[in-house]
Chains A and B, each alone.
Chain A
Amino acid sequence: MKNKLKELRSERRWTQADLARELDVSRQTVNALESGRYDPSLPLAFTIAKLFELRIEDIFTPD
């Protein structure tokens, strides 16, 4: 699954640590999500979407 996490984070000038703090996950988790090596669960995807005030499908798209 592709995602725009890195792009959205950069727009807000957040570091991975900042985003990790907002989502209450580890920085490694943010790194794995951004690189597409790990796809989030639905609850985490909803949390991410809520944080960026977008819909899940605006952030995550199928390969």
Chain B
Amino acid sequence: MTTQVRSGRRYLIRFLTAAALYTVLLFISIPLAQRQPEGSIARYAIASLPVIGVVMGVWALWKFVGEADEFQARKLLDALATSLAGTLVVAFVVGMIQFAGGPALSWVWIIAVWGVFFALGTVWANWKYR
């Protein structure tokens, strides 16, 4: 097994673990936080638990950019650029709609929006260099 195959597998394991951890913590933290007294530090700390998965995901991406060969890193950066552009546009449009009296959406959804654009960006980058 080459260095590059190993780094690809490591990235996949790290990123999928981070995504799973985020999802599990999201479903656990919301009901747990609601049981804590309003305004308490414990309530805020428990509600913030899913950030552990987010930070781990960012770490997995960061490590892969450093470990992958230049072509694999280029594809990842293309996907990240796509996800950044898509998330910025959606966040701005939703913000402007809210400003104009539209329904208020939780910031929590920003990760899901980013995830959708990152997946689309990954598919696009693979297609572009297929």
CB contact under 8 A between A25 and B129, given known A20-B2, A20-B4, A38-B74: no
A26 x B70 contact (CB < 8 A): no
Report how many residues on chain B are interfacial, defined by Cβ distance under 8 Å: 14
A44, B72: Cα distance in complex, Å: 13
Question: For chain B, what secondary structure do more than half of its interface residues adopt (helix, strand, loop), or is it mixed?
Answer: helix
Assembled-state Cα–Cα distance A40/B130 (Å): 16
Inter-chain contact A26/B129, CB cutoff 8 Å:
no
**Chain B residues closer than 8 Å to A28, beta-carbon distance:** 71-72, 129
CA distance A6 to B55 in the complex (A): 41
Interface centre among A21, A26, A37, A41, by most chain B C-beta atoms within 10 angstroms, is: A26
Q: Which of B2, B3, B8, B71 contacts A38 (CB 8 A)?
A: B71
Binary interface encoding of chain B residues 105-130 relative to chain A, with 1 for a CB under 8 A from any of its CBs, else 0 = 00000000000000000000000111
List chain B positions with a Cβ less than 8 A from chain A: 2-5, 8, 68-72, 74, 128-130
Q: A24-B3, A26-B4 are in contact. List 20 more A-B contacts (CB 8 A).
A: A20-B4, A24-B2, A24-B4, A24-B69, A25-B4, A25-B70, A25-B71, A26-B5, A26-B8, A26-B69, A26-B72, A28-B71, A28-B72, A28-B129, A32-B71, A32-B129, A37-B128, A37-B130, A38-B129, A44-B70
